[in-house]
């Protein structure tokens, strides 16, 4: 889809050469930013009570009198900020996506200047509203004719808005890639499939890629990763992607994504209800692929390494049993008290592996614990780091990207729950503080670099009628990577 900035005075809005016009209105005063025909149309809609200035409300008008556009959508926003603008545009775009419009103009009725943040919000909103999963659903509706979106404004820094649109499009492409991977069922999205996606991405965007098989992983001594994969017939894959945007001497940002392509829980098997959603347990891996996709398009002067340990967690006669002790790549032994706490087992070996890159920072991303969902719900991802500067940078990136996270503690006292009589550590503690003890487990493998952990169990997908992957935290990670460019 093509996104452009279209400078236009408010007096010219009625003559805009578009098929449809979305007008975002934030509050009573916003109507004062409209002139002529649009002002009268809004006044009439409000007087007839067909439209209300309450956030989330929309009104579709077909062939509005006095406008060149054949379709008009009013969309009410909570305020004039980018976040509210995004929500309003998403509601309006949902009204138009199945119609006949090819070119849509978007106007903010408020007289204030448009910003790069509004531009990013526009692209994110349209992507969210128009995405349809089709890979394994032939009955899904075909893509509509919508091909061009123009952000229309009079008061704006045109270059800044264009930069915002470019950033938004790169992030949206990364989000779409992450969603496409995560939405595929487990019999389609296997570890091999993830490796193929990484290889395709490397080919089209000039990245370097390496895929390790079981034999290579055994040679490296990744006993924890191997333990998780034992019960599956699907071969494991350990994927390494590299974007080299800076000098070789510059230490890279390393992103590690959990790639459990289906999680039954293993011998500690999950309840049947909603187990189908465990295809989303590779959302961390998908977000790493999506972020590399966005970064490769934007070409910042920074080095990035993406690492994905990928396998299934299945129960069979060879599967790891509760109470088994394995030796991780770091040499530390782990008593596997619960085979459904498998994500931390594949991540811990990956976190040891990445030491070879001498990283500037390592961020792991994982749908790790249900406890994080209990703590934060579905709006914010969980953030863990002992590094205050890194934590603050990630929090700021999340806010800038409208992909927020929230920092949780890593106090040493939580480490007590991981003690084992039979190994250096257990892989789980009790139920209390489960997201924290999971992060404390990972921390034991990160002593040689700056590290942060993002638990995305609540934010990576939606359940219910809107079931599907969200593509988060690709926006957060992309903004963070860009902030590290020199």
Question: Which residues have a catalytic role annotated?
Answer: 270, 344
Structure tokens that stand for 282 in this block:
């590779």
Which positions ≥6 away from 18 have C-beta within 8 Å? 68, 69, 101, 103, 104, 105, 150
d(Cα 374, Cα 370) in Å, to the nearest integer?
7
| Structure token pair of residue 72 | 């008009």
Residues, the chain, total? 486
CA dihedral angle for residue 476, residue 480, residue 485, residue 486, rounded to 10 degrees: 140
Give the C-alpha distances (Å, rounded to integers) separating 78 from 25, 42, 47: 9, 17, 20
| Degrees to nearest 5, angle at CA 389 with 244 and 455 | 75
> Between helices 343-353 and 434-443, what is the axis angle to 10°?
30
Calpha distance 360→353 (Å, rounded)? 15
> What are 173's strand-pairing partners?
none
Contact predicate 111/121, CB 8 Å? no
How distant, in Å, are the alpha carbons of 5, 25, 38 from that of 68? 19, 20, 11
The dihedral built from the CA positions of residue 314, 316, 322 and 328, taken in this order, carries a sign that is negative
φ, ψ dihedrals at 244, nearest 5°: -110, 95
Look at strands 208-212 and 237-244 and give their pairing.
Answer: antiparallel
**Residue burial 150-165, b: 16+ Cβ < 10 Å; e: rest:** bbbbbebeeebbbebb
* C-alpha–C-alpha distance, residues 212 and 209, integer Å: 10
């Amino acid at each position: 889809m093509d996104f452009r900035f279209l400078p236009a005075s408010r007096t010219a809005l009625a003559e805009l050469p578009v098929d449809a016009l979305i007008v975002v209105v934030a509050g009573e005063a916003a109507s004062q930013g409209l002139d002529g025909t649009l002002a009268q149309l809004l006044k009439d809609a409000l007087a007839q009570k067909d439209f209300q200035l309450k956030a989330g409300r929309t009104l579709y008008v077909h062939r509005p009198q006095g406008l060149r556009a054949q379709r008009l959508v009013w969309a009410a926003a909570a305020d004039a900020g980018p976040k509210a603008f995004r929500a309003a545009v998403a509601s309006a775009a949902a009204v138009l996506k199945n119609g006949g419009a090819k070119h849509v103009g978007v106007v903010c009725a408020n007289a204030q200047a448009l910003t790069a943040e509004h531009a990013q919000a526009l692209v994110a909103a349209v992507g969210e509203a128009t995405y349809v999963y089709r890979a394994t659903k032939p009955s899904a509706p075909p893509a509509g004719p919508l091909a061009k979106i123009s952000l229309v404004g009079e008061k704006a820094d045109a270059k800044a808005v264009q930069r915002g649109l470019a950033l938004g499009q790169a992030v949206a492409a990364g989000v779409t890639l992450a969603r496409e991977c995560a939405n595929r069922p487990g019999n389609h999205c296997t570890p091999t499939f993830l490796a193929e996606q990484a290889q395709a991405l490397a080919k089209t965007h000039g990245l370097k890629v390496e895929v390790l098989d079981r034999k290579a992983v055994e040679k490296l001594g990744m006993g924890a990763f191997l333990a998780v994969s034992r019960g599956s017939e699907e071969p494991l894959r350990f994927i390494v992607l590299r974007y080299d945007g800076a000098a070789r001497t510059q230490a890279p940002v390393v992103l590690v994504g959990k790639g459990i392509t289906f999680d039954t829980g293993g011998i500690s098997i999950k309840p049947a209800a909603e187990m189908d959603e465990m295809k989303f347990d590779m959302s961390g891996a998908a977000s790493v692929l999506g972020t590399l996709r966005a970064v490769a398009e934007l070409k910042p002067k920074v080095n990035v390494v993406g690492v994905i340990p990928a396998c299934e967690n299945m129960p069979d006669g060879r599967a790891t049993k509760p109470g088994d002790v394995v030796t991780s790549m770091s040499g530390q032994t782990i008593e596997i008290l619960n085979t459904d706490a498998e994500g931390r087992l594949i991540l811990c070996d990956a976190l040891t592996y990445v030491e070879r890159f001498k990283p500037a920072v390592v961020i792991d991303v994982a749908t790790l614990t249900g406890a994080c969902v209990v703590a934060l719900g579905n709006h914010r991802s969980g953030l863990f780091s002992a590094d205050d500067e890194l934590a603050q940078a990630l929090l700021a990136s999340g806010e800038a990207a409208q992909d927020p996270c929230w920092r949780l503690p890593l106090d040493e006292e939580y480490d007590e729950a991981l003690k084992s009589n039979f190994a250096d550590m257990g892989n789980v503690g009790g139920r209390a503080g489960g997201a924290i003890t999971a992060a404390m487990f990972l921390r034991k493998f990160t002593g040689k670099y700056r590290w942060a952990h993002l638990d995305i169990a609540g934010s990576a997908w939606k359940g219910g009628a809107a079931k599907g992957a969200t593509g988060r935290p690709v926006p957060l990670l992309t903004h963070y990577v860009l902030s590290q460019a020199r």
